[in-house]
Amino acid sequence: MLNHPHIMRKAQEEIDNVIGAHRFLEFQDWHSLPYTRAVIKETMSFPLGVPHEVGTDDEYEKMHIPHGSSLVANAYLISKDEKLFPSPDKFKPERFLEIETMGKYISPEAVNSIFIFGFGRCICPRIHIA
């Protein structure tokens, strides 16, 4: 964010317009802050893989994955996929606004992709509180 002060100012302006200076953010305010949500998603969409334990024996592309194995998603490669994230090397919160409003760029699973919270069925159930 320090490298993009114009983005930080725009998010602060949105917060000030919705919440003002005399109260704290409340859960019901969240839907009134689309740009701020987009900035948070863009800021947190960095490639970090957290190991997950395989709950049962599994098979993927003819490879046996035994119960108890640790798997780490290749978040770096996913974050560089131009089909999911156009211009992946640019800090561009607007990409999440486009995704939310148009819904045509990527799958619903990717809309909520904030890699530190996991993927698919393994996504953290507390993502919205965080």
pTM of the model: 0.63
Q: Which residues pair with 71 in a beta bridge?
A: 52
Phi, psi of 35 (to 5 degrees): -70, -40
Binding residues: 124
8 A C-beta contact, residue 64 and residue 71: no
Q: Is the pLDDT of residue 72 over 70?
A: yes
Q: pLDDT tens for residues 82-121? A: 877 778 888 888 887 865 554 444 444 444 455 556 666 6
Q: pLDDT tens for residues 2-61? A: 899 999 999 999 999 999 988 998 988 988 999 998 898 888 766 666 677 888 999 989
Binding residues for heme: 124
Query: What are the structure tokens assigned to 42, written together?
Result: 């863009």
